[in-house]
Structures are given as structure tokens and as C-alpha cells.
Amino acid sequence: MIPVAPPPSGARLPVDAVDASVDAAADPWAVLALAPGAGAGRDHPFLVGAGAAWAAAGVTTVRFDFPYRQAGRRMPGPAAHAVATWTAVEAFCRDLAPGLPFVAAGKSYGGRMASMAAAEDLLAAEALVYLGYPLHPPGRPDKPRAEHLPAVTAPQLFVAGARDPFLQPLDQFTGAVAACRDAEILWVPGGGHSFEVPGTKKDAADGGAEVAASVLPWLTARLQRPAA
């Protein structure tokens, strides 16, 4: 388990540690923390598939739960709880793989919480990867969650499904990314919020592995991976 200290505000956490699973690479060149979406935990098949694929490619991956999930609750707690968790997870990852670049990644809510931690200078990742960033609630483009993104200094990669209801209209999303200091979009043609494509059948674990593989070229370039 990873111990999580209360946030600076002093807000009480429902637990003092969260569970984590490590997909260890044999010869790692980076360590990546992978957070779940709001309705899932670290053992969701999509995350398991992604973690295994990254580990096989040399990126040790740490999948973890948020405090509300650890406490058996279904709905996320205050954002400060998630930000405090991200800070603790970074410390865990850097101890686990000293000297290696640290990447913060997350599915939907998990990625958004990483971006908030980074914008507040409470997360010092060398890169951030968002798997289905929830720009706004479906059908509510008037409620964007992007104001903090330009404050993030590390490179950001938004893996996005072109049909994702959290991103419509797409020009609002592309505008939000363009306002960032250093950000790119990796499109999944025809993909929804979990990158599902109508008319195709794919196991969630296989889908996670496929998305993870698509991110590797960007990570390799941004982290300046040494030549083998």
C-alpha cells in the first residue's frame, strides 16, 4: 500500500493508504503511474492491459486506487484527496525506480486529477498522459474543466476518441489543448470515451494494451529514451 498524507487544507481522508499493483519492467527506462477513471479501480481490465503492455516495453507501471475507492465508496471524494494521492504516488514511484523519468497517466477522472496536481505544482512528472480526458460532462460544453491546463509545464499527451461525448464539440477540445504550453492530441478515429469503436469487438484488456502501445512513440521521444 502507498501511504497518503492529508492535503495541506487538513481535509480528512477516508483512508491513510491506498492499494497499488506494480507491473515491473525487466529493464525499465521509465516509471509510469496509472490512475483509474471515476467508476473503476486499479484492476479494471483496460488498466491491466495497458500496464502489462507498458511493462513489456520497458516502462514499469504502478496502478493504484484513490482513497474513496479504497474506502469502498462509489463516488469520488474532494479533488484535494486525489491530488494528495498523486503526490504520494509520485514519491512511491521515484523510490521504486530512482533516477528514471516519472510519467503520470490516468483514465478520464484519474488523468484530470493528475493535471490538477501538476498545475498546482504538487506533481513534478516529466510527462503526463490523459486517456480520455473529460473536458466537460456529456452534453455540457458550458462546464469545461480546462482552466488549469495552461499552468501545466510538463509535456501533455491527450489520447482522445473522436466520438467521445466528453469532448464535443471537438473544436472546443482542440482549442483547450492549443492553449496549453506543450501539448499534443493522439486521436483514436471513431473512438468513444473508452476508445470503443462501433462495429468492432475488442476485449477491454486488449484495448488498453493497444492504446498503451500507441503512446510509446511519444513517450520515447519526450523522455529522450537512450538508444538500446
What pLDDT was estimated at residue 101?
97
Are the beta carbons of 89 and 62 closer than 8 angstroms? Answer: yes
d(CA 68, CA 73): 5
d(CA 184, CA 207): 21
| pLDDT tens for each residue of the chain, 228 residues long | 999 988 887 678 899 999 999 999 999 999 999 999 998 999 999 999 999 999 999 999 999 999 999 999 988 988 999 999 999 999 999 999 999 999 999 999 999 999 999 999 999 999 999 999 999 988 898 899 999 999 999 999 999 999 999 999 999 999 999 999 999 999 999 888 888 888 788 889 999 999 999 999 999 999 977 655
d(CA 119, CA 194): 25
Q: What ranges make up the beta strands (E) of 9-110?
A: 17-18, 20-23, 30-35, 59-64, 102-107
* Grid cell for residue 25: 519492467
- Residue count (the chain): 228
pTM, to two decimals: 0.94
Are the beta carbons of 225 and 30 closer than 8 angstroms? Answer: yes
Q: Which of 42, 56, 157 is nearest to 110 (CA)?
A: 42
* Grid cell for residue 76: 469520488
Helix (H) / strand (E) containing 59? strand 59-64
3-state secondary structure of 156: strand
Cis bond upstream, residue 28 (ω within 30): no
